[in-house]
Amino acid sequence: MKNHPNILSVTLMMLAGLAFSGCLDVETKTTVNRDGTLARTITFTGDSARVYRGDFPLTIDSLWSTSIRKVDDKKFEYSASRTFADAEALNEAIKNVPYKTLPVRVELEESFWWFVTDYHYKETYKRWNPFDNVPLTDFISPAELELAIRHEMEDEPYNTKGDSLALTDAGERFEKWDARNIFESYFLVVLEGVRNLNDPALKQETMVSRKEDLFNAMQIPLQEGKFDTLTVILNRVLKTRIASRAMAANKEGFSLFDEQLDFKGAISANSYKVSIEMPGIITETNAKEIEGNTVRFDDFKQIAYIMDHEMRVASRAINWWAVIVTALLIVFGAVSLVVGRRGKGR
Amino acid sequence: MTCAESRDLMLMRKSELTREQENQLRGHFKTCADCAAYLQENKDAMRRMEALRAFEPVLKNAQDLTSDILNAVESARRGATQAAASSSGRVFQILSYRTMRILYGTFVLGSVGLFLAQQLAVATDVQSLEEKLAQRRGGKAGIQVMYSVPSNLVNRLPKSKQILSYLGTADAGERDGLFVIDGSSLSRAVDVVGSVIFRSTDAFSDDVSRKKLEALAETIQRSVSARVTIRSKERS
Is pLDDT above 80 for A59?
yes
Rounded distance between C-alpha atoms, residue A293 and residue B155, angstroms: 38
- pLDDT score, position A166: 61
pLDDT given for residue A30 in this prediction: 97
Residue of B nearest to A284 (CA): B129
**What tens digit of pLDDT does each residue of B9-46 get?**
887 777 788 888 888 888 888 888 888 888 888 888 88
Chain A from 152 to 181: CB within 8 A of any B CB: 154-157
The pLDDT value given to residue B203: 58
pLDDT of residue B178: 82
Q: What is the pLDDT of residue A328?
A: 95
Determine the Cα–Cα distance for residues A16 and A53; give it in Å rounded to an integer.
18
Contact A282 B93 (CB under 8 A): no
* Of the partner residues A113, A157, A283, the one whose CB lies closest to the CB of residue B129: A283
Three-state SS for B44?
A: helix
At residue B85 the predicted structure's pLDDT band, cuts being 50, 70 and 90, is low
What's the rounded mean pLDDT across residues A188-213? 89
Report, as an integer, the average pLDDT of B141-150: 68
Cα–Cα distance for residue pair A38/A91, rounded to 1 Å: 11
Q: Residues 6 or more apart from B21 whose CB is under 8 A from it?
A: B9
Q: What is the mean pLDDT of chain A?
A: 86
Interface residue A3 vs chain B (CB under 8 A): yes
**For chain B, percent of residues with pLDDT exceeding 90:** 8
Q: How far apart are CA A32 and CA A5, in angstroms?
A: 35
Q: Which of A21, A281, A337 sits opposite B101 (nearest CB)?
A: A337
Put simply, the answer to whether A344 touches B96 (Cβ < 8 Å) is yes
Q: Which residues contact B65 (CB under 8 A, 6 or more apart)?
A: B59
Distance CA A283, CA A67 (A): 34
CA B19/CA B114 separation, integer angstroms: 112
Q: Name the phi and psi angles at A47, rounded to 5.
A: -75, 165
Reported confidence tier of residue A225, pLDDT bands at 50, 70, 90: confident
What phi and psi, each to the nearest 5 degrees, are found at residue B15?
A: -70, -20
Which residues lie across from A43 on neighbouring strands?
A27, A79
Check residue B199 and give its pLDDT: 58
Contact across the interface for B129 and A5, Cβ inside 8 Å: no
Q: Does the pLDDT of residue A337 top 90, yes or no?
A: no
CB B169 within 8 A of CB B187: no
Is the pLDDT at A51 greater than 50, yes or no? Answer: yes
Helix-then-strand count for chain A, H and E: 12, 11
Helices (H), B11-148: 19-31, 33-55, 65-96, 98-137
Confidence band of B234 (pLDDT split at 50, 70, 90): very low
Whether the CB-CB separation of A25 and A44 falls below 8 Å is answered with: yes
Q: What is the pLDDT of residue A99?
A: 93
**Using 50, 70 and 90 to split pLDDT, how confident is the model at A20?**
very low
Exposed/middle/buried for residue B24 (C-beta within 10 Å: 0-12, 13-18, 19+)? middle
Q: Is ipTM beyond 0.85?
A: no
Could you give the 3-state DSSP secondary structure of residue A281? strand
pLDDT at position A38, please?
A: 97
- Per-residue pLDDT, averaged over A187-200, amounts to 90
Report the sign of the C-alpha dihedral through residues B25, B31, B35, B40, in that order: positive
Distances in whole angstroms, Cα of residue B211 to Cα of each of B104, B197, B215, B218: 80, 9, 6, 10
Q: Is A126 helix (H, G, I), strand (E, B) or coil?
A: coil
Give the type of residue at A71.
Answer: V
Does residue A207 register a pLDDT over 90?
no
Q: Hey, is the C-beta of A149 within 8 angstroms of any chain B C-beta?
A: no
- Render pLDDT for A262-276 as a digit per residue (tens, 0 to 9): 999 889 889 999 999
Residue % of chain B over a pLDDT of 70: 73
Is the backbone of residue B157 left (phi > 0), alpha (psi -120 to 50) or beta? beta
Of B89, B129, B184, nearest to A157 by CB-CB distance is B184
Its pTM stands at: 0.65
- Tell me if B95 and A337 make a contact (CB, 8 A cut-off): yes
By mean pLDDT, which of A297-301, B112-116, B128-132, B141-145 is the weakest? Answer: B141-145
What is the torsion angle, in degrees rounded to the nearest 10, for the CA atoms of residue B92, residue B96, residue B101 and residue B104? Answer: 10
- What pLDDT is recorded for position A14? 44
Give the span between the Cα atoms of A71 and A39, in whole angstroms.
Answer: 23
Cross-strand partners of A140: none
Is the CB of residue A149 less than 8 Å from the CB of residue A310? no
Tell me if B10 sits within 8 A of B38, measured CB to CB.
yes
What's the mean pLDDT in A129-142?
Answer: 89
pLDDT at A305 exceeding the cut of 50:
yes
Kindly report the backbone phi and psi dihedral angles of residue A44, in degrees, each rounded to the nearest multiple of 5, phi listed first: -115, 120
The bridge status of strand A25-32 relative to strand A38-47 is: antiparallel
